[in-house]
Structure 1
Amino acid sequence: MNKKEILTSSELATLWMTYQEKTMFLRMVEYFHSVNEDKKEKNYYESHMLKLAKEIQKIETILKAEGAKIPNGFSEKDVNKQAPPLFQPTFSLQIMRMLSEIGMGLHALHLARSYRKDIIQLFQELSVTTQRCYEECTELLIEKGALSRPPQVSMPEQVDMVVSTQYLKGNSIFGDKRVLNTVEVSFLYQSIESNSIGQQLITGFAQVTRDPEIKKFFTQGKELSKKIITKLSKKLMDDDIQVPIAWVGSPTVSTIAPFSDKLMLYCISLFCSFGLGSNAIGTTFSLRKDLSVTFIPLITQIYDYGVHGAELMAKKGYTEEPPGMENRTNIINRS
């Protein structure tokens, strides 16, 4: 008989990270389900609650089989299902769509760090269910007229080649400023859309936290999102390109927290990580240098804000330590 392959440190790390993400997602879906009155949306939340619960159980089964301690993650203590709605129903779907988008990216990264057959299969399955969650959520939002589509463009009739480095400088061969290409527009548009959602999400969190330090942190994040939206929207508007205009929704007037401070801080941490990654990729694939000049300072500010959040979580005792490698020096000194 072949011996079962040992779980690698990378695989343990990906399982641990996924457990944090999935347990947080489940708590948020539970709350959205409890406060929603629309039958179709309620069925959507219920379906994904069951899927998330099964996914979490699969991770726990693998960890138990390896003799690993199950992480704390986020439990029922981190959600108050009796709290009144903090967000309007349509905006709750916007949050779901954004979290699914983040999940799809994370699953792809984790899959690329997997070697054991059952771990590869797990992340393949997680990718499929998360993609389905994203698809269904997108359909619901379009059906409600609450999702702005990127601008349309005339289809290319020929293949053009870059014939001068002026293209990279943001100029045409005649020296005038060239119009943004579709790749550049797609990254700008996505960043504006995600920050619009993030701005309203963090505003809601700022309303309900009772901790002055955390409230200040959330308020700073709201202002950072507004700054990013303004700067990137100007890039589109300068080329007469429509910016996202669909109303994404907003928080209600509730000041009763549906989630723990720990969960809200972790959620914003995920959004920061997503923002860093997407803006970095946007910088890489943008061929107009003025876009890099815009993106790079924003990336720095998002990073600094994320570090501030990590420090705040550690200070408040909300940070769960990831599994560590063996400290060989301590082992040698004990022998």
Structure 2
Amino acid sequence: MDKDDLKLTSSEIGTLWGEYVNGTAVDMVNRYMVSIIEDEKIKALFEDAIQVFAEQKKQIKTFIKNEGFPVPIGFNESDLKTGAKRLFSDIFCLHYLHIMTMHGLLGHTASLSSSVREDLRRFYDSSGDDGMKLFHQTIDLLLEKGHFQRDPYFYPRSNPEFVSGQQFLNRFFGSKRPLAATEIANLSMNIKKKVMAKTLSIGFSQAAQSKEVRKFLKSAQDSADQQIQSLGKILHNDNLPVPMSWETEVTTSQDPPFSDKLMLYHIGFLLQASQGYHGAGLATAMRTDIVAEYEKIILKNLMVTKEWFNIMTKNRWFEQPPLAPDRKKIAKDK
């Protein structure tokens, strides 16, 4: 049997399904942003991103169709309002593209790790290469415009050192040691992701048409703000800079550029993705106060995600992924 004729596994179908739904959601946001961006260099990056995903979308549809599965509905032009007023500044759009490219790279890597069939692995290789190129381009342009937020600098010590006791872990009891570089890296990254989620929540809450959706987005905004403050306080207490906010990059427009379904889904996607970043932060945290803060944030996000799920399902906006056969039901219905 030809290795490319092997049936796709449940993991491979699942990752393709996720890539399609998430990709179409971000693609609609990119299409709106490219319509409002005035800076030609930023616009060019968005045009490239849209073109790259168009090719990826075709290939994903082919993979799914060839296995006999229905192609997800995902998001399309019906979720995009043509001619909507500007809701975000050009610079925020660039930050958005940079962070969503990082999400895409991690998604491609996770999908690749679940793939066995060679043609699918080659597809994710190519997708990763495209994402890496865009990742570099967004950083270069943010640097050029003076808007890339660097993490804190360290002054090197003369020799390697070893941990000598439990005080390295303690924060509630005993002396407090300075933050480790690994802890700072995850704190900064998590704050930057929260800043983007908060900014999107602010913009979307202005534009959403449903009162229920607006209420949830306001709640998500408040939750993100609390987490920014709590993680930022840990950096601040060590006299380290906290990543800046982007709230002022949202205009006062109330003109909805997207459907409520898309705006709500996007915030839910960021909530779920953030749990992975919080988990990475928890795994590298070696100070008890940081561990406790991540645990509190993860628990809070689970509660917010449950509320998000209830609204999505109530409105029949949550598209069901492929399910395993229900063997008990099949046997019962015979």
Tell me whether the two structures share a fold, i.e. TM-score over 0.5: yes
Cα offset, 1:221, TM superposition: 0.7
Contact 1:198 1:225 in 2 (8 A): yes
Which residue in 1 is equivalent to 2:228?
Answer: 229
Which residue in 2 is equivalent to 1:190?
Answer: 189
| Cα distance in 1 for residues equivalent to 2:158 and 2:126 | 39
Contact 1:90 1:249 in 2 (8 A): no
Which residue in 2 is equivalent to 1:244?
Answer: 243
Q: Identify if the C-alpha distance between structure 1 residues 2 and 229 changes in structure 2 by more than 3 Å, giving closer, same or farther.
A: closer
Cα offset, 1:27, TM superposition: 1.0
Q: Identify if the C-alpha distance between structure 1 residues 50 and 130 changes in structure 2 by more than 3 Å, giving closer, same or farther.
A: same
Which residue in 2 is equivalent to 1:40?
Answer: 41
Contact 2:167 2:177 in 1 (8 A): no
Which residue in 2 is equivalent to 1:329?
Answer: 328
Contact 2:92 2:246 in 1 (8 A): no
Cα offset, 1:132, TM superposition: 1.9
| Cα distance in 1 for residues equivalent to 2:244 and 2:275 | 23
Cα offset, 1:249, TM superposition: 4.6
| Cα distance in 2 for residues equivalent to 1:171 and 1:154 | 27
Q: Secondary structure at the match of 2:249?
A: coil
| Cα distance in 2 for residues equivalent to 1:327 and 1:253 | 50
1:273 aligns with 2:254: no
Which residue in 2 is equivalent to 1:91?
Answer: 92
Which residue in 2 is equivalent to 1:58?
Answer: 59
Cα offset, 1:216, TM superposition: 0.4
Q: Identify if the C-alpha distance between structure 1 residues 176 and 58 changes in structure 2 by more than 3 Å, giving closer, same or farther.
A: same
Cα offset, 1:170, TM superposition: 4.1
Q: Identify if the C-alpha distance between structure 1 residues 62 and 293 changes in structure 2 by more than 3 Å, giving closer, same or farther.
A: same
Cα offset, 1:74, TM superposition: 0.6
Instruction: Please list every run of 5 or more consecutive structure 2 residues that lacks an aligned counterpart in the other structure.
Output: none
| Cα distance in 1 for residues equivalent to 2:62 and 2:97 | 26
| Cα distance in 1 for residues equivalent to 2:61 and 2:2 | 24
Q: Identify if the C-alpha distance between structure 1 residues 251 and 165 changes in structure 2 by more than 3 Å, giving closer, same or farther.
A: same
Cα offset, 1:202, TM superposition: 0.5
Q: Identify if the C-alpha distance between structure 1 residues 40 and 177 changes in structure 2 by more than 3 Å, giving closer, same or farther.
A: same
| Cα distance in 2 for residues equivalent to 1:171 and 1:332 | 57
Instruction: Please list every run of 5 or more consecutive structure 1 residues that lacks an aligned counterpart in the other structure.
Output: none
- Could you list the per-position Cα deviations for residues 60-109 of structure 1 after superposition, in whole angstroms to 9, with x for gaps in the alignment? 11112222211101111111131011101111111111211211222222
1:282 aligns with 2:262: no
Query: Which range is displaced more, 47-56 or 134-143?
Result: 134-143
Cα offset, 1:320, TM superposition: 0.6
Please show how residues 90-129 of structure 1 align to structure 2 within 5 Å.
90-129=91-130
1:257 aligns with 2:234: no
Cα offset, 1:147, TM superposition: 2.2
Contact 1:83 1:257 in 2 (8 A): yes
Please show how residues 111-150 of structure 1 align to structure 2 within 5 Å.
111-150=112-151
TM-score calculated relative to the size of structure 1: 0.95
Query: Which range is displaced more, 17-26 or 34-43?
Result: 34-43
Which residue in 1 is equivalent to 2:218?
Answer: 219
1:181 aligns with 2:180: yes
Cα offset, 1:157, TM superposition: 2.4
Cα offset, 1:294, TM superposition: 1.3
Contact 2:169 2:286 in 1 (8 A): yes
- Could you list the per-position Cα deviations for residues 308-328 of structure 1 after superposition, in whole angstroms to 9, with x for gaps in the alignment? 111111111101111111122
TM-score calculated relative to the size of structure 2: 0.95
Contact 1:80 1:258 in 2 (8 A): yes
Cα offset, 1:131, TM superposition: 2.1
Cα offset, 1:247, TM superposition: 5.0
Cα offset, 1:171, TM superposition: 8.9
Cα offset, 1:246, TM superposition: 6.7
| Cα distance in 2 for residues equivalent to 1:18 and 1:225 | 25
Q: Identify if the C-alpha distance between structure 1 residues 156 and 281 changes in structure 2 by more than 3 Å, giving closer, same or farther.
A: same
Contact 1:79 1:259 in 2 (8 A): yes
Cα offset, 1:245, TM superposition: 3.2
Q: CA RMSD in A?
A: 1.7
Which residue in 1 is equivalent to 2:311?
Answer: 312
Please show how residues 11-30 of structure 1 align to structure 2 within 5 Å.
11-30=12-31
